[in-house]
Chain A
Amino acid sequence: MIISQLPALQVILPLVAAPLCVIFHHRELAWLLTLLVSLISFCFSCMLLNQVLVGDAITYAMGGWVAPWGIEYYIDKLAAYMLLIINGIAFLVLLGAREIVESEIASDRIYLFYTAFLLNLTGLLGVITTGDAFNLFVFIEIASLSSYAMISLGRDKRSLYAAFKYLIFGTVGASFILISVGLLYAVTGTLNIADLSQQLTNAENTSTITTAFVFFIVGIGIKAAIFPLHLWLPDAYTYSPSIVSTFLAGTTTKVFIYVLIRFIYSLYGYEFSFFAESFHYLLMFTASGAIFFGSYLAIKQDSLKRILAYSSIAQIGYMVLGIALITELGLMASLVHIFNHAFIKVGLFLAVTAIIYFYDTDSLKKLMGIAKQTPFIFALFIISGLSLIGAPLTSGFISKWYLIKASIEADYWIFVSIIVISSVMTIIYIGRIIETTYFKPADKQTATFDVDKRRPYLLFLSLVVISFINIYFGVETSLNVDMASQIANELISK
């Protein structure tokens, strides 16, 4: 009975829990409830994945209204894979969140923070599960609005301005997506993604469809922070509460890359999207730009969170690069990197969160030589850092391996050199952090370790789990790589 309702439960569970947090009006209860919901949701996504792996894709008619008239929830392997990533990260981030949130957010607002968090989770899961183009827009806005609210909760007053900037960018992006959906509806008279793709193959290739495509690409480019539309991202990640930056860095941009893949392959279809010769060159250009620009700016920053934010822009470039190669292997590399990077970035951000918790600063100038005081956090930081660089035996190596393999296979040797050069740049900025914190002597500016603070043991636990994931998927890749290659095969052959 409950099995057949799983697709709807993915969205409804956090949506119902969000107002409950407001009703309870209690910060510990709100945290427990949110943690519980994310755990149940994670179990559900595992069950869904199990179901999809053995059988066909699941379709679920919302309220019994059959598609294409009603809203359909559609879960294929790709959606189940993304659900697993998002739910897994939500759980791991929440596990360590309690002490951090209490120290960073005013205590009378904590329950509201968890409400916004649950709404954000609702939006992200909804974007993945829905099979309806307009419903997709609504979920994008649910996710975005709650993330603006979460960012504005930061202690630094600059977080308000960052949230406002993100709001302006995000709303323009979402409006572009809405225009695109409207134009598609004008051509086909349907909003169901599966139906749309069928109607589009029959429709003449008019300029309306092309216009819709262009509006969509620009809109999703803003939302996913694809270079050069990334301007909102560094401030939003830097000034928001650490837990929020951790969660956003692990999920939001990946979900929008998912939407990009979904629209290119499931809606417009592979032939249409890449028929215009220039489109994948455009993606290649933005991807290379993102990789260079993001890595270069990451080297120049002083704030740890800002370094990681610019590094995120570079890593989004890798994901786009995989898509731009228009090969099965490229798409697979991109999907593997979505999985690996999500856990790498969350690991790095959680370690930085712990540093901010104990030292109350994330400025490198004030953190000289502190690694000896907190060797445990820094050891885990280095594991995720090595994974970001792409050292062998870590998950980052696997993604880069497949990206390089895909570039060689598609005869784009230039990307091999771009990936290698940017790996060197990654060594520079991660190495700079390690050098400053391990080898530079402490001086007057150095922040002091706050001994009185309660030890966030659950945060350490989730850090350990994430570091383990980073190593595990560098050695044993059957889960994510096999899944990704099956998904890529399905999407290309359709």
Chain B
Amino acid sequence: MDILGSFNYWVVIILMMIGFYIIIANNNLVKKIIGINIFQTSIFIMFISMGKVMDGTAPILNNLNTLYSSPLPHVLILTAIVVGISTTALALAIIIRIHAAFGTIEDDEIQQEIK
């Protein structure tokens, strides 16, 4: 197994699991959002790693280079980052209103109050 060769993908998996663990296990709503951000970032790294071609350069047409990296994943990830930021912004806005309504942002305390 070429572990170092797929270094990026190991990072992706480790980050993804860290993010997922935070979403599930953490009690604080803001920290859950941080978990989601880490989770999404790992996906972004996966996309960008896929686009890289060994020894390829940026896709600018000139006479010096013939081998280019794929630019499409970068474009996709720009869109996905925008989506991620909107999600974070909306989540934080909801958390502010949860704090105003319940007086806490701890998951278990909110659940206790709901019951």
Chain A contacts to B: CB under 8 angstroms: 134, 137-138, 141, 145, 148-149, 152, 157-158, 160-161, 163-164, 167-168, 171-172, 174-175, 178-179, 182, 185-186, 189, 191
Contact = CB atoms under 8 A, between A and B. Distances in A.
A175 B94 contact: no
Given A145-B86, A157-B101, A185-B73, A178 B43 contact: yes
Contacts of A164: 29, 91, 94-95, 98
Contact of A160 (B40, B43, B101): B101
B37 to A, nearest CB: 10
B36 interface: yes
Given A134-B79, A175-B43, A161 B23 contact: no
**10 cross-chain pairs, A with B, having the tightest CB-CB distances, nearest first:** A157-B101, A141-B83, A186-B50, A160-B98, A182-B47, A164-B94, A160-B97, A152-B94, A171-B87, A171-B36
Contacts of A189: 70
A161 B100 CA distance: 12
Given A145-B90, A182-B43, A185-B47, 20 more contacts: A134-B79, A138-B79, A157-B101, A158-B114, A160-B94, A160-B97, A160-B101, A160-B102, A161-B98, A161-B102, A161-B114, A163-B94, A164-B95, A167-B90, A167-B94, A168-B32, A172-B39, A179-B43, A182-B73, A185-B50
B46 interface: yes
Interface of B: 20, 23, 29, 32, 36, 39-40, 43, 46-47, 50, 70, 72-73, 76, 79-80, 83, 86-87, 90-91, 94-95, 97-98, 101-102, 110, 114
Given A158-B114, A160-B101, A175 B40 contact: yes
Contacts of A138: 79, 83
Contact of B102 (A134, A145, A157, A178): A157
B31 to A, nearest CB: 12
A181 B50 CA distance: 12
29 contacts: A134-B79, A138-B79, A141-B83, A141-B86, A141-B87, A148-B94, A149-B90, A160-B98, A161-B102, A161-B114, A164-B91, A164-B94, A164-B98, A167-B90, A167-B94, A168-B36, A171-B40, A171-B87, A172-B36, A174-B83, A175-B39, A175-B43, A179-B43, A179-B46, A182-B47, A185-B72, A189-B70, A191-B72, A191-B76
B67 to A, nearest CB: 16
Contacts of B73: 182, 185
B35 to A, nearest CB: 9
A161 B110 contact: yes
Nearest to A161: B110
Contacts of B32: 168
A189 B53 CA distance: 13
B43 A152 contact: no
Contacts of B29: 164
Give the most central of A145, A163, A171: most B CB within 10 Å: A171
Contacts of A152: 94, 97
B42 to A, nearest CB: 9
B100 to A, nearest CB: 9
Contacts of B94: 148, 152, 160, 163-164, 167
B98 A168 contact: no
B76 A134 contact: yes
B20 to A, nearest CB: 8
B95 to A, nearest CB: 7
B97 A172 contact: no
Nearest to B83: A141
A137 B84 CA distance: 12
Contacts of B36: 168, 171-172, 175
Contacts of B95: 164
Contact of B46 (A145, A149, A157, A182): A182
Give the most central of B23, B40, B87, B102: most A CB within 10 Å: B87
A213 to B, nearest CB: 17
A160 B23 CA distance: 18
A424 to B, nearest CB: 31
Contacts of B46: 179, 182
A163 B91 CA distance: 9
